[in-house]
Structure 1
Amino acid sequence: MENKDLKTGFDNIIKGNQEWMDFVKNDTTGRFQQLAKGQNPEILWIGCADSRVPANELTGTKPGEVFVHRNIANMVIHSDMSLLSVLDYAVNVLKVQQVIVAGHYGCGGVAASLSRNQYGIIDNWLGHIKDVYRLHSEEIDGIEDNEKKVDRLVELNVKEQVFNLCSTSIIQNAWKNGQALAVHGMVINIGTGQLIDQSCTFTSNESLGKVFAFK
């Protein structure tokens, strides 16, 4: 027996695509025809997979202007070949100039990492966020309000992921070769739509520390 809710959901996707096709067809700027030939984004966005934080809407950019990688809690893990492949292509082929690691307040992944519950295979991923908590446990444990505790870990997690990103060979070699490249950490307030700069921008490896900065 066909599930009517599933059928309706799929039909809505097709309907939405038809509306988008009509928009593209009626656009007179020529930008979609240009996009069909290739992309030239200036920004790489590394964000959370949460459905409430789409990169283009938050940055006011058009299709073709932001290259995007998203995962649970916007993590930069040095063994994650998916992220590293996106990063390598963005930096070395597309030559992006701005890389943004974007977390968001109320992040479910960060909240889950602060609990002792088991959720399944994602527990192995959340372990990386627990490592961030371990580095800052004294500060986090000193916050009584649970929502504020989660939001503070969101901020700290963004800063740690920015550092992880800057310590990759991809970013460091780009800097070594004189490529203009800035890495930023930001947090999204979903309720207001604001992107909040976390004041952890790097444009070279000079501030990373001796063992992290390649020669």
Structure 2
Amino acid sequence: MSSLRLGNSLLSTTRRHLTTSRIIRPTILTKSSRLTRAAAVTFTPRYCSSSASSSGSNKDSSPSPSPSSHKDSAWRKMADDKQIPHYLKQDHDRVFDHNRAWATAQETRDPGYFAKLSEGQTPDYLWIGCSDSRIPAEQIAGLAPGEAFVHRNIANLVPNNDLNVMAVLEYAVRHLHVKHIVVCGHYGCGGVKAAMTAKDLGILNPWLRNIRDVYRLHEAELDTIEDETERYNRLVELNVVEQCRNVVKMAAVQQSYAENTYPIVHGWVFGFHDGLLKDLNVDFESMLAKIQKIYNLTD
């Protein structure tokens, strides 16, 4: 796909998503969804402080309870009332209500949409992201079904001994012929935070060791950052860059680029505070050249 066609495709996709969101956003008020809606009201956060207290003018006000404490309290109340099984069933049914509404809207707007979708996939993007439930890859990037092949795991890692991510990369590059490989991390990553904690985390230890190794490699830079949050955010960024480097070490990536001049590898970070993606401007060609002094697999 040329850059012009890709740009037009992304613009068209974004418009379609905006239209879709207006169509399917309202909850379908069926009999089966009433308890779900009631439960949603129960879970509505009530911890938001007034503008005065949030600005720090009311110094005597007590700390607001966390969202999780309200949610836990709501679950305990439903458990006492023996409503949890009913809530879980309605929560399950709500997904299918929304699915039917989405499918109907898609077919109405674009007759034959699902027939075309079933013909196969030719995505331009491979997205390697974090499993965090707050980061839906296609939505934040304005991509439609069929435009991104997605793999997610804790802290968006690309370790060479993980057959899952290695298989995804191999298939995406050699068989789907993706043009872009995106490693996308996010600020506030629980996996990165856990790796910064000197604590035994059981089965998570070997996985988080990959992030701790990133810290070790960049220890001199990170230890000069006095603010803990800033150091944490910088480790998120450095972890993305190191995972991009792990992608570049793969034979499939090197050989495809030598033959086709694609895929290109990108490092991005998502921010919750504004919903924007930050491009870390990974210099793919320079990174590839340095990698191939030791990891050249093109011969």
What's the TM-score once normalised by structure 1's chain length? 0.92
- Counterpart of 2:149 (choices 52, 58, 67) is 67
Partner of 2:255: 173
CA distance in 2, matches of 1:106, 1:52: 11
Q: 1:182 to 1:203 in 2, by over 3 A?
A: farther
- Offset of residue 11 of structure 1: 1.8
- Counterpart of 2:120 (choices 19, 28, 38) is 38
Partner of 1:23: 105
1:16-40 deviation per Cα after TM superposition (whole angstroms, max 9, x unaligned): 2222222233222544321111111
4+ aligned runs moved over 6 Å, structure 1: none
Residues 54-93 of structure 1 correspond to what in structure 2 (within 5 A)? Answer: 54-93=136-175
After alignment, is 118-127 or 64-73 more displaced?
A: 118-127
Three-state SS of the structure 2 residue aligned to 1:37 is coil
Q: Do 2:106 and 2:113's aligned partners in 1 also have CA atoms closer than 8 Å?
A: no
Q: 1:124 to 1:5 in 2, by over 3 A?
A: farther
1:127-170 deviation per Cα after TM superposition (whole angstroms, max 9, x unaligned): 11000011112222222222212110000001100001001112
Q: Do 1:183 and 1:203's aligned partners in 2 also have CA atoms closer than 8 Å?
A: no
- Offset of residue 88 of structure 1: 1.1
- Offset of residue 203 of structure 1: 4.4
Percent sequence identity over aligned pairs: 41
1:85-144 deviation per Cα after TM superposition (whole angstroms, max 9, x unaligned): 111111111111111010111111000100012333122211110000111122222222
- Offset of residue 209 of structure 1: 4.7
Residues 86-125 of structure 1 correspond to what in structure 2 (within 5 A)? Answer: 86-125=168-207
Residues 104-183 of structure 1 correspond to what in structure 2 (within 5 A)? Answer: 104-183=186-265
Residue type of the alignment partner of 1:169? A
After alignment, is 111-120 or 25-34 more displaced?
A: 25-34
Larger radius of gyration: 2
CA distance in 2, matches of 1:201, 1:32: 38
Residue type of the alignment partner of 2:294? V
Three-state SS of the structure 2 residue aligned to 1:112 is helix
Three-state SS of the structure 1 residue aligned to 2:256 is helix
- Offset of residue 179 of structure 1: 4.4
- Offset of residue 9 of structure 1: 2.0
Partner of 2:88: 6
Residue type of the alignment partner of 1:46? I
Partner of 2:49: none
Q: 1:5 to 1:48 in 2, by over 3 A?
A: same
Three-state SS of the structure 2 residue aligned to 1:47 is strand
Unmatched segments (≥5 aa) in structure 2: 1-81
CA distance in 2, matches of 1:41, 1:161: 21
CA distance in 1, matches of 2:255, 2:207: 27
Partner of 2:12: none
Structure number with higher helix proportion: 2
- Offset of residue 63 of structure 1: 0.8
Q: What value does the CA root-mean-square deviation take over the aligned residues?
A: 1.8
Q: Do 2:128 and 2:181's aligned partners in 1 also have CA atoms closer than 8 Å?
A: yes
Aligned length: 215
Q: 1:18 to 1:108 in 2, by over 3 A?
A: same
Residue type of the alignment partner of 2:271? N
Unmatched segments (≥5 aa) in structure 1: none
Partner of 1:48: 130
